Amino acid sequence: MTDQLKKLLLGEQGLVVIFIVAFALVSLLVPNFLTDRNMLGLLQSVVTVGIVACTMMFCLAARDFDLSVGSIVAFAGMVAVMASNYTASIPLGLIAAIACGAVVGWVNGVVIAKFRINALITTLATMQIVRGFALISSDGRAVGINSPDFYQLALSKLLGIPTPVWVLAVLFAIFGFVLNSTVFGKNTLAIGGNPEASRLAGVNVDRTRIWIFTLQGVVCGIAGILLASRITSGQPNAAVGLELSVISACVLGGVSLAGGRATMSGVIVGVLIMGIAENAMNLLNIPAFYQYIVRGVILLLAVLLDNLRSSALGRR
Amino acid sequence: MSFLEFSNITKTYPGVKALSDVSFRVEKGAVHGLMGENGAGKSTLIKILSGDQHADAGEISIDGKVQAYASTRNAFDNGVIVIHQELQLVPELTVAENLSLGRFPASGGVIARRRMLDDVGAKLKSAGIDIDMRRKVKTLSIGERQMVEIAKAVMLDARVIALDEPTSSLSSRESEILFALIDRLRGEGKVIIYVSHRLDEVFRLCDSLTVLRDGKLAAHHTSLKDVTRDQVVAEMVGREISDIWGFRPRKTGEVRLKVDGLSGARLRTPASFEARAGEIVGFFGLIGAGRSELMRLVFGADPRSGGTIAVDGKTIAAASPHEAIRAGIVLCSEDRKHDGIIQGRSIEENINISSRRHHTRFGVLNRASEIATAETFIKKLKVRTPSRRQDIVNLSGGNQQKVILGRWLSEQGIRVLIVDEPTRGIDVGAKSEIYELLYQLAEGGMAIVVVSSELPEVMGICDRILVMCGGRISAELTRGQFAEKAILAAALPDKKTPDAIAS
């Protein structure tokens, strides 16, 4: 019995099993958890983290790191609001936001891949630079949205499910496919496994890394737009600390910080576990200060479990 | 009286029985050889001895005491020291610091430098190791580093020292120094376990020998007096191998690869050579002669500062491996672990990483063809694995090498295959298989360049040998002209004593 349990928990799908158990427990024990309203609220609360986690997964899988995501999300939100206010065209605003995200990501990628600066340092720098841009652009103030149509991005529903959740689902599907079924995805994992061997095997490592960071920027742009729409303004101080939540979710989902190992299903579960924990604590009226501790403990436990699993599989 | 005793050691990895019921004994003051093909279980046995891995069943006893260690640290304390192929030294520290690491003589946390140097100096001297202990390890040659590793064992008063393929990256001269050191340790009553693929070394050094095959004890010789080499080879492979080179002449065609005046940061003197279709060209030289550096330039792995490369008469840019592969040049690097395998990924992915671009549409993989490719090459190259999904790090060195070869053979339109030390750390059986493969590829019209530090190997399989020395091509010989002395003379920088090295 215990052997079977061990096998189940430490197997490839161990995290999914734990997630299902945790979900069932929370549903039973926490009042008002398993209601339509709360479920939608939960999903909406993980949209930002979930969207950014899609590409953070690639970043980590390639043995890189991106700390600048929070700043890019805030900056892209500012750009989306200000550009659509200025041009009176929402599509132009959205394009501008995504383009800005892409440019920041591309710069990250080029500096890291071509100039061989450590990703941690590079993105630590751009994190601050881009936050500076966001603050300067509005002189540190929040910028209100002029057109009510912009709110509709976050408020509109399709089949009873809010648009941002659809966007999240679509991105999960796209990036899951990209990771498993495209050359780009496989090359990303190979680079994380052994960058030099990948280069000598003919993988264009620099180009792949630049693409990873550029995509990360694009995705942060999308997250920034949806966030701005939800909070009905561009906030230069939005999404502070987002990078840590996103990396936590990825690690929870079994993405190896040493590179070479990542699954989309794992990341989805990681994102949901974080969301459920927060949601349940809110429903139980646990004060926000304690929530930090709980989140930290969950992360540590997840990493320990992952470690056990790796040694059970006979790696390292 | 037997000093070190293995009894009924059994170890199973997921999908592989690495060792089953292996028992043998080693006497005190003996150098004991451990031989076997790749995947025969040598490394696993050494790992169990060092406490790095646990046996599922069986026990090891030293001096009559059963060892039950939970970690390498315990093994250490019990006087068992394993010197791995990949050396475990801190490059930025000096020799003396490396040798004192973990037990610095200190007062109040401040290292007593004088005392450290005195202690280390005395030990090095008594062991007969001549290395400047103030030098940083990163400035030492691989051979010198190996000496430092052994010095470490001496400093710790090891009772059992296991050496895993110690000479695989040493020059002949460095090997000689190592052998002298081993002789001295034997005289001091240490037990030395000597893992090697090289028969002549084993016969020269070892008092006794254990041969493993497929995780089982194939033979145990308490003395090597009446044992022949052919016998040991047969024990390892399980069949007789008459001529391991199996050379057969071929017709050569047009010039496939033409390298003209190539130079780079690590190869100052411009180098030129050609390789024809169907030809196997060998590059011989000492470690550091510039052979690998030249090949990396041809493959675009390092930036070149001058010269041209032409394939089939067409000059190519080859500014990166990516471009070289598309021009039909591929390279199997000498450092498999660092430059070859993608750790943590399956055999299937390791094979398909480059060639998959031929089967994709808009960047989307063709799973069916990838599986087929992987299965084909696992079968064709006889990769020993339970499944194509096996993580490549779980394979033995020889099987990893085959997977890397599979990676390149699955490519399309390869005109030039460069293999750098293709059989390093590979057993006799797999060696013959790899040579046979090279002949077949050459017969198919490829130009093949073999870089090797083993003179018998280049002489055995090549049509032509280029010798490099100090970053220059110093001689060129065609098959009829092959002579050990001439080749060695061209390879030696001082051109003084080819005989001393040849012996």
pLDDT, tens only, B268-296: 889 999 999 999 999 998 777 888 899 99
Q: Which residues in chain A are closer than 8 Å to B357, comparing Cβ atoms?
A: 183
Among partner residues B322, B325, B342, which is closest to A194 by beta-carbon distance?
B342
Domain total in chain B: 3
Say what percent of chain B tops pLDDT 90.
13
Whether residue A199 and residue B342 make contact (CB cut-off 8 A), yes or no, is: no
The phi, psi pair for B280, rounded to 5°, reads: -110, 115
The pLDDT of residue A12: 64
- Give the mutation candidate from A178, A200, A316 for the B interface (greatest B CB count, under 10 A): A200
Residue B12 pLDDT class (50, 70, 90 cuts): confident
Say what percent of chain A tops pLDDT 90.
38
Among partner residues A189, A198, A200, which is closest to B331 by beta-carbon distance?
A200
pLDDT at A224 over 90: yes
Q: Is B340 on the interface with A (CB under 8 A)?
A: yes
B384, B472: one domain = no
Mean pLDDT of A101-115: 94
Mean pLDDT of A299-304: 81
Whole domain around residue A121: which residue ranges?
36-307
pLDDT at B353 over 80: yes
Give which of B100, B129, B130 is closest to B117, Cα–Cα. Answer: B100
Whether residue B338 and residue A194 make contact (CB cut-off 8 A), yes or no, is: yes
Task: Lowest mean pLDDT of A227-241, B38-52, B59-73, name the range.
Answer: B59-73
The count of CB pairs under 8 A between chains A and B is 85
Give which of B118, B114, B144 is closest to B129, Cα–Cα. Answer: B144
Residue A9 pLDDT class (50, 70, 90 cuts): low
The pLDDT of residue B138: 81
B374, B441: one domain = no
Domain holding B49: CATH number?
A: 3.40.50.300
Residue A11 pLDDT class (50, 70, 90 cuts): low
Whether residue B394 and residue A314 make contact (CB cut-off 8 A), yes or no, is: yes
pLDDT at A315 over 50: no
Mean pLDDT of A275-282: 88
Residue B69 pLDDT class (50, 70, 90 cuts): low
Residue B494 pLDDT class (50, 70, 90 cuts): low
Q: Nearest chain B residue to A183 by CA: give it.
A: B363
Is residue B350 in some structural domain? yes
Is residue A254 in some structural domain? yes
Higher pLDDT, B71 or A185: A185
Q: Which residues in chain A are closer than 8 Å to B340, comparing Cβ atoms?
A: 197, 200
| Dist. CA B89–CA B341, nearest whole Å | 23
Is residue B247 in some structural domain? no
Mean residue pLDDT of chain A comes to 87
B154, B294: one domain = no
The pLDDT of residue A169: 94
The phi, psi pair for A143, rounded to 5°, reads: -115, 125
Last residue of some domain: B412, B433, B454?
Answer: B412
CA distance A185 to chain B (A): 9
Residue A33 pLDDT class (50, 70, 90 cuts): confident
The pLDDT of residue B297: 92
- With beta carbons less than 8 A apart as the criterion, state whether B193 and B209 touch: no
Give which of A208, A214, A54, A77 is closest to A144, Cα–Cα. Answer: A77
CA distance A314 to chain B (A): 8
The pLDDT of residue A53: 94
B207, B159: one domain = yes
| Dist. CA B160–CA B67, nearest whole Å | 13
Task: Lowest mean pLDDT of A151-165, B27-41, B121-135, B489-503, name the range.
Answer: B489-503
Give which of B342, B452, B457, B451 is closest to B407, Cα–Cα. Answer: B342
Is residue B138 in some structural domain? yes
Confidence (pTM): 0.74
Is residue A315 in some structural domain? no
pLDDT, tens only, A189-207: 889 888 888 888 888 899 9
Domain total in chain A: 1
The pLDDT of residue A211: 95
3-state secondary structure of B492: coil
Q: Is B339 on the interface with A (CB under 8 A)?
A: yes
Is residue A192 in some structural domain? yes
Rg (CA), chain B: 24
pLDDT, tens only, B205-236: 899 999 988 788 888 998 888 888 888 878 88
Whether residue A182 and residue B331 make contact (CB cut-off 8 A), yes or no, is: no
Residue B191 pairs in a beta bridge with B160
The pLDDT of residue B499: 43
B127, B206: one domain = yes
B81, B152: one domain = yes
Mean residue pLDDT of chain B comes to 83
B320, B361: one domain = no
B157, B232: one domain = yes
Mean pLDDT of A218-226: 94
Is residue B248 in some structural domain? no
Is residue B244 in some structural domain? no
Q: Which long-range contacts (CB under 8 A, 24 or more apart) does A161-167 make?
A: A161/A40, A161/A43, A162/A40, A162/A43, A162/A44, A164/A44, A164/A47, A164/A226, A164/A229, A164/A230, A165/A40, A165/A43, A165/A44, A165/A47, A167/A47, A167/A51, A167/A222, A167/A226
Q: Is B407 on the interface with A (CB under 8 A)?
A: yes
pLDDT at A286 over 50: yes
What type of residue is B445? G
pLDDT, tens only, B142-180: 778 888 888 888 777 788 889 888 877 777 777 888 888
- With beta carbons less than 8 A apart as the criterion, state whether B318 and B298 touch: yes
Say what percent of chain A tops pLDDT 70.
95
B130, B215: one domain = yes
B418, B395: one domain = no
Say what percent of chain B tops pLDDT 70.
93
Q: Is B413 on the interface with A (CB under 8 A)?
A: no
B86, B22: one domain = yes
- With beta carbons less than 8 A apart as the criterion, state whether A94 and A225 touch: yes
**Could you report the predicted ipTM of this complex, rounded to two decimals?**
0.74
Whether residue A197 and residue B365 make contact (CB cut-off 8 A), yes or no, is: no
Mean pLDDT of B40-60: 85
Instruction: Give me the residues of B, 369-398, that contact A with CB < 8 A.
Output: 391, 393-394
Q: Which residues in chain A are closer than 8 Å to B320, comparing Cβ atoms?
A: 199, 204
Is residue A272 in some structural domain? yes
Interface of A to B at Cβ within 8 Å reads: 181-184, 186-187, 189-190, 192-194, 196-204, 256, 260-261, 313-315
Domain holding A100: CATH number?
A: 1.10.3470
Whole domain around residue B291: which residue ranges?
255-328+414-502
B170, B182: one domain = yes
The pLDDT of residue B502: 41
pLDDT at A314 over 70: no
3-state secondary structure of A83: helix
Rg (CA), chain A: 20
